[in-house]
Amino acid sequence: MKMIRFPDGAKVPALGQGTWMMAERAKRRAQEIAALQEGIDLGLTLIDTAEMYADGASEELVGEAIRQRRDQVFLVSKAYPQNASAQTLPLACEASLRRLGTDRLDLYLLHWRGRVPLAETVDAMEHLVKAGKILRWGVSNLDTDDMEELAAAGGTQCQTDQILYNLTRRGSEHDLIPWLREQNQPVMAYSPIEQGRLLAHRELARLAASRDATPAQIALAWLLAQDNVIAIPKASTSEHVRENHAAAELILSDDDLRLLDDLFPRPWGPVALEIL
């Protein structure tokens, strides 16, 4: 498995596991827990969740999946922007830790930017690091100007920006992704299959068939072929986890990559960061 390094030296697999829209149906709980555990067994040890997902139930599901296996996992969660103040971030973090059944997060993210000044959020994150509640912190859904403001506000210890990035969402390649690479901050790419919509793309399906792969595997392999990108697809079944894992072994040729550029061209110039 390709490994990606954060600025502080921590290494994680380039392919992790997302949990958005998991824990929303009780009848799927056992299946989803089994899927997360299968992923850990296969080396997809970065698990991403958030207090927002299913109103905290996603964190509870992850907590059950990693019980007795906490030290095998790089655990990521995210805080609501309204919980990003000096007073509220410690409380939100404690609530996430309680739901996850752990004493620390490996990475804690600001889910998106709200009204709390970035400097206050930076200070609150650093206090959580000093308290041992989180090992490192980052952000999500922040565009280039936000990242520059974050750095100017003292956020030099930011480790990553988790953004919407896939074959159909390439505007960030013009400015945000180059900026992050200059800071040695990896991109965490959420919705790498565009919430499943890429599966219906005929030309992508044709390319996938020629490579004895699925459209999802091609989309993931495209992300994994890039430098400093971590993909976090969601998989609710063990079969789907195994399909995702196989994408890590799929090497796209130069011709494949050129075809994907033709099928999914990036915008001509910078566009505002897209968010789902």
Q: Are 89 and 81 in contact (CB under 8 A)?
A: no
Give residues with Cβ within 8 angstroms of 167, minimum separation 6. 194, 198, 204, 219, 222, 260, 263, 264
Residue-wise pLDDT tens digits, 88-104: 999 999 999 999 999 99
pLDDT at 7 over 90: yes
The first and second tokens of residue 152, run together, are 């100017």
Residue with tokens 């000093």: 130
Q: Kindly report whether the global pTM for this prediction surpasses the value 0.95.
A: yes
CA nearest to 190, candidates 12, 70, 21, 6: 21
CB atoms closer than 10 angstroms to residue 66:
22
Q: Are 24 and 37 in contact (CB under 8 A)?
A: no
Residue-wise pLDDT tens digits, 242-264: 999 999 999 999 999 999 999 99
pLDDT at 123 over 90: yes
The first and second tokens of residue 18, run together, are 């997302």
DSSP state of 274: P
Output the pLDDT for position 270: 84
Q: Are 108 and 92 in contact (CB under 8 A)?
A: no
Predicted confidence band of residue 236 (pLDDT cuts 50, 70, 90): very high
Q: Are 245 and 44 in contact (CB under 8 A)?
A: yes
pLDDT, average across residues 56-62? 98
The number of helices, as runs of H, and strands, as runs of E, in the chain is 10, 10
Predicted confidence band of residue 269 (pLDDT cuts 50, 70, 90): confident
The first and second tokens of residue 33, run together, are 């827990």
Residue-wise pLDDT tens digits, 65-96: 999 999 999 999 999 999 999 999 999 999 99
